[in-house]
Structure 1
Amino acid sequence: MRDAAVAGTGSDAAQARSARRVFWVLFGLVGLAKLWVAWRLPLFVDEAFYWQEGQHLAAAYSDLPGLTAWLTRLGVELGGDHRLALRMPFLLLSMAVPWLLARITAREFGGRDGWIAGSLAMLLPLAGTLGLLALPDVAMAFATLLCMSAGARLLRKVDAGSALVLAFGLVIGALSHYRFIAVIGVGFIALLLLADGRRVLRDARVWMAIAIGAAAWAPLVAWNFDNADAGLRFQLVDRHPWRFHLEGLWFLAVQALLVTPLLFAAMAVAGARGMRDGTPQVRYFALLGSLVVLGFFGLGFFADTERVSFHWPLPGYLALLPLVPAVIRRWPKVWRRLLWATAGLGLVSVLGYYVAVSVPGLRMQAAAEKWYPSNFAGWDALAGAVEAERATMPAGTRVVADNFKVGAELGFALGDPEIPVLDHPLNHRHGRAPQLRLWGLETAGRADWAEDPVLLVVATSEVRYRELLAHYQSLCERVGPLPPPRVLNVDHGRQRFLLFRLEAAAEGACVTPAMAWVEQPASGASASGRLQVAGWAFKEGVGLERVELLVDGTSRGDLRYGLRNTGVAAYWQTSTDPNHPAVGFEGEVPLEGVAPGRHWLGLRLHGRDGSVEAWPEQPFEVVAP
């Protein structure tokens, strides 16, 4: 960028040089920080599934177009089976985002504004953390900027070069995610609302670029055509309630926090002013950004609230960023400094969260919190347990997962993208069931295994507790009575896995893992002197023999088990534990010698079949008398 030529005066040129230095310093620091975090951050479950898709190369998949899977395959082919290698193509592409935004802004509004916009893109938490995870949003952001750049150039003059950039951006976007349709639609509306935009749309070269971009959707259209629109139906129908709900009101608060409040306010002002501006490029950026953000705001009142969606408006923020330098230039210096400081603090906070996720000790301390990062946790420990169990089982033992998350994460850890998976509600809720069937990895259970030995891995923390007994009973129907499992409680059992050695077909009454509930004390309760404990526990098919009390993993003796509790059988109406209704327990723990502070209460459940199962722990606070 020719800053001095664009800036004009010597003072402006000096400011541009200063802004350029800031950009490159940030570029280096943020890049190094992201590289380090990506190296140590455990693999997120969606990344693992995209890796699995990359090991089954195809033009499109049930959940996404093909590009994300192709990039994961490229990463591991070049760098080996390591999570950093898998993420490397996304990291490199993400570092192009602030640079490209700086180029676009400099071309339209001058070099100084370009470097400032690029720096803000790195500090904007949603954009600055792109590439830490191998997710489709990285390519989508890059495609958005290409289309945005081409659109601004076309408003000035229609030429073949700009049309080619537009086609390139549309192709990358089409290969990234269904959600890119929103960017295309809003971009088309923005051009229609501008007189110069309508002139652009009358040019055959532009329509040629649009046609090339439309053709890039062909693999996804073909996949849906061949699979009864399963992918499209999931993205547009199945995952969304399409009923009005007030959770959409959280959008403004969540977005203001994630974007950081002052930068969010600056973008709002930039969008409002830009739509009244007489310059076509300014109005184009303002319309594109504002309509995307407002569109997702409106969608939030009707769309999916179960899965993460806070990152959806990112293309809109990228479109508004070129207009922000002109807005904050009018602000008092103290407010400009506060904007930079809060944006930097926001980025550091999000990076800090990912660092905390990667530290087992910190993750364990968060086991009782709502924000516990379950999709990052426990996979290495699970892989180690699976390898240890398989080493003691007959040769040729199959590993079978009960849901796609376990199958994909174990697949990456063990280097095996062919791990069969049972049908599970989770597979359907995330749109992965059709893809598993296409790969031939969905298994019906013992009917498919004959007499082969199987190590079945079940993630109980992925099932709502009220549905857990029905899930166990469903497993019995498919694989037979469940033998005593190896229990793997990660982070006090917040992530809980059961490993079943199914070495031969078995028949008989359904035997399942034990279930329990601690009614007293409540999680997080305080106690002094003595801790009163009460609750219930049962085990399908055979019943429990005794219940042992643990504090911080150390046994404190048996609780009185066998107390009458008719409410348990009334709630779990299908339970066949022979002990019903005598499934209650109670007791107390003397706390003399227990240091004040947080401790963990657990149970060890002893079944009449010889099973011994550690129940997840819950925290309690010991206070000084």
Structure 2
Amino acid sequence: MQGEQRARTIFLWLWTLITAVKLVVAARLPLFVDEAFYWQEGQHLAAAYSDLPGLTAWLARLGVEIGGHHVLALRLPFLAIGAWLPWAVSRIATRWFGNVAGWQAGSLTLLMPLSATLGMLAVPDVPMAMAAVLCLGAGARLLRTVDAAAAMRLALGLLIGALSHYRFIGVIAVGFIALLLLPQGRRMLRDPRIWVALAVGVLAWLPLLAWNADNHEAGLKFQVVDRHPWDFQWTGLWFLVIQPMLVTPLLCVAMWKVAVAGTRAGGGARAQWRYFGLVGGVSTLAIFVLGFFTDVERISFHWPLPGYLALLVAVPVVLNGWPRWLRRTAWWMAGAGLALAFSYYLMASTPQLREQLAGYKYYPRNFAGWQPLADAVREELQQMPPGTKVLAGNFKVGAELGFQLGDADIAVLPHPLNDKHGRSVQLGLWGQLHDGKRDGPMLLVLSPSDQRYRELLDRYRAICGQVGPLPPPRVVSNDHGFQRFLLFRLPAQRDEGPCITPAMAWFDAPSSGEIVAADLHVKGWAFKDGVGLSRVEVLLDGRPVTDAVYGRNFDIRSAWPQSTDPQHPNVGFDARLDTRALAPGRHWLGLRLHGHDGSVEQWQEQPFVVPTR
């Protein structure tokens, strides 16, 4: 009893503390771009959408309807599911392994970074995890005895999963394999009540199937074919490095011991123990193997979560068999992993801290700069004629601006990014894909940070083809330019003439992060198609310090043969700066580019380091 009381107290303290922290972070964290699009989908209620079934959008709509137009309100239904999840895992573990193990399983769910942070973002993985746990608990109970209550719970889990994500098909397949491998599972599948539950699960896919039938299977093709290379790629091995970090190493070892135990028959092993091990082990192994062939460009580290939740149910039994020092290390390591995960989200939610990540691989670009962009858009609209409409360069800008401005109908230009994320068809169904025609003034908002640099000039030229020559832009630069936006006032009637693009530049010296001497030699190139540049200012930590000598012979036409800057090949610049007065540490080198058309554009800054002297 004393051990049970201690385990229960630890769980309740952890649940209270972690839930409170999640609420605080969720209230401060800007919307991730996918969350903004789910909000937009929720403002156009439908049975299914081009990228997902309907449940995520419905939950997002429910949140703002109840709590108002705020990021926390939008996330509240997802936070509620995330808060429910540890209790559900605890209940399953309690049923099969006792009260102490039950509370410990709930605590581990609260500490494992992948499950602990669930719900802070309004994403489909949240209801999908809920569905997986409902099915897991129902399946374990049905292995012992088939009854109507457990069958109804299974049906509910299958229903929620089908409305959450295409990936839930994998959860169903793994559960079916686990049942077939168990004698009790094969016996269970002969009961008609199970097939009634399965029929409910099948019917839940009908809205998504109907949407695909009406739209040439666009959603199915995107999820199964278009987004995956289906060619072998060695990057799948990163799974073995990333996943132990995300679930913490010792907890990862314990989960794999559960998975291995699930493959062993006989020896008095419980059917439920084997069931949890098989579901979690088969799921994780399948995702690892698929990782060699599937999409690696977008975030996929969360895919194994349903399998991990199955393994967590039995992990306390494994941990309790370890030496005390190792068991304590596993718990503290999980807590440290959770602290690091929360620290990242806190940095992403705090502009001053987020700025420190600029220039690093883990800079949270998709969270950055949306509020300053919205403020700039409002200022521009106030200075433009009444009735001016906003035109976004891609779905990310359209969705994020839509949430900030309270407008779910912002028009969006065709963009490869829309196709890459499976959103073009949906935008077309809403009538929001812009064809370049206009019957009034428009404010065009572009996000060059979303484009690969080598493709940026072609993108600018494509936009010229869509909307005509581009006037001088207003630059909205965040975090040293690692999130930049360009705002263009387009007149009511399309202009004709040569394509004038935003300026482009590059530092040849110093290199990013270079440790510099007292005398810093700055050199590189810059150009602006259509009109050329008249002046290049050099900025140091955001302040102008000198003009670079511009017009050096620097022939870059082999890299940019399509460029029409009239000053080619004389587009090089150089300058020298004295850094002896600078404090040791990281500093930022920037450019302000002046075009012959009157444009003034601040370029992305580049870090360099002044050593301690």
* TM beyond 0.5: yes
Alpha-carbon distance in 2 for matches of 1:524, 1:161: 61
Q: 2:316 aligns with which of 322, 325, 342?
A: 325
Following superposition of structure 1 onto structure 2, how do residues 432-443 of structure 1 map, counting pairs within 5 Å?
Answer: 432-443=423-434
Tell me if 1:176 matches 2:164: yes
1:522 aligns with 2:511: yes
Deviation at 1:528, TM superposition (A): 2.5
In structure 1, runs of 5+ residues without a counterpart are 1-12
Q: Which amino acid is 1:383 matched to?
A: A
Deviation at residue 101 of structure 1 after TM alignment:
0.7
TM (normalized to structure 1)?
Answer: 0.96
- Residues 332-371 of structure 1: per-residue CA shift (max 9 Å, x gap): 1101100110001111110111001111111111111011
| Residue 392 (structure 1) aligned with residue 383 (structure 2) | yes
Structure 1 match to 2:140 = 152
Give the aligned residue type for 1:510.
C
Q: 1:624 Cα deviation (Å)?
A: 4.8
Q: How far apart are 1:316 and its partner, in Å?
A: 0.4
Q: Deviations over 1:489-509 (max 9, x none)?
A: 110000010000002321111
Alpha-carbon shift at residue 623 of structure 1 (Å): 2.7
Counterpart amino acid of 2:70? H
1:79 is the counterpart of 2:70? no
The letter of the residue matching 2:520 is L
Give the alignment of 1:186-205 within 5 angstroms: 186-205=174-193
Aligned amino acid, residue 399 of structure 1? V
Which among 536, 548, 558 is matched to residue 525 of structure 2? 536
The answer on 1:334 being equivalent to 2:325 is: yes
Secondary structure in 1 aligned to 2:399? helix
Equivalent of residue 255 in structure 1, options 220, 243, 265: 243
Which residue does the alignment assign to 2:481? 493
8 Å CA contact 1:528, 1:624 repeated in 2: no
Letter in 2 for 1:416: D
AA aligned opposite 1:436: L
User: AA paired with 2:573?
Assistant: F
Amino acid paired to 1:258: L
1:474 aligns with 2:462: yes
The DSSP-based 3-state class of the residue aligned with 2:80 is: helix
CA displacement 1:432-464 (0-9 Å, x = unmatched): 11110011101011x2x13x1000000000011
- 1:602 and 2:576 aligned: no
CA distance in 2, matches of 1:164, 1:384: 50
| Superposition deviation, residue 591 in structure 1 | 2.1
1:143 aligns with 2:100: no
Residues 1:128 and 2:128 are matched in the alignment? no
Displacement of 1:548: 1.1
- Which AA in structure 2 matches 1:571? A
Q: 2:282 aligns with which of 291, 312, 321?
A: 291
Match of 1:558 among 547, 557, 578: 547
In 1, Cα distance between the equivalents of 2:536 and 2:121?
42
Asked whether the 8 Å contact 1:512–1:541 carries over to 2, the reply is yes
Identity of aligned residues (%): 60
How big is each residue's C-alpha offset from its partner over 1:94-123, in whole Å with a ceiling of 9 and x where there is no partner?
A: 111110111111111111111111111111
Deviates more, 1:543-552 or 1:51-60: 543-552
CA distance in 2, matches of 1:595, 1:149: 59
1:593 to partner: Cα distance: 2.0
CA distance in structure 2 between the aligned counterparts of 1:262 and 1:592, rounded to whole angstroms: 48
Cα distance, 1:595 vs. partner? Answer: 2.0
**In structure 1, the residue corresponding to 2:281 is in which secondary structure?**
helix
Counterpart residue identity of residue 340, structure 1: W
> In the alignment, which residue of structure 2 is the partner of 1:588?
576
Distance 2:559 2:7 in 1: 65
Q: In 1, Cα distance between the equivalents of 2:241 and 2:608?
A: 32
Instruction: Give the Cα separation in 2 of the matches to 1:167 and 1:77.
Output: 28
Aligned AA (1:206): I
Tell me the residue number matched to 1:214.
Answer: 202
Unaligned runs of 5+ in 2: none
**1:552 CA displacement:** 1.1
Are the aligned partners of 1:275 and 1:282 in contact in 2 as well (CA < 8 Å)?
no
Q: TM-score, normalised by structure 2?
A: 0.98
CA 475–283 in structure 1, closer or farther in 2 if over 3 Å, else same: same
Q: Where do 1:371-382 residues align within 5 Å? A: 371-382=362-373
2:79 aligned partner, one-letter code: L
Counterpart CA distance in 1 for 2:463 and 2:586 is 37
The aligned residue for residue 22 of structure 1 is 10
Are positions 1:100 and 2:91 aligned together?
Answer: no
Q: Distance in 2 between matches of 1:133 and 1:484?
A: 37
Output the aligned Cα RMSD: 0.9
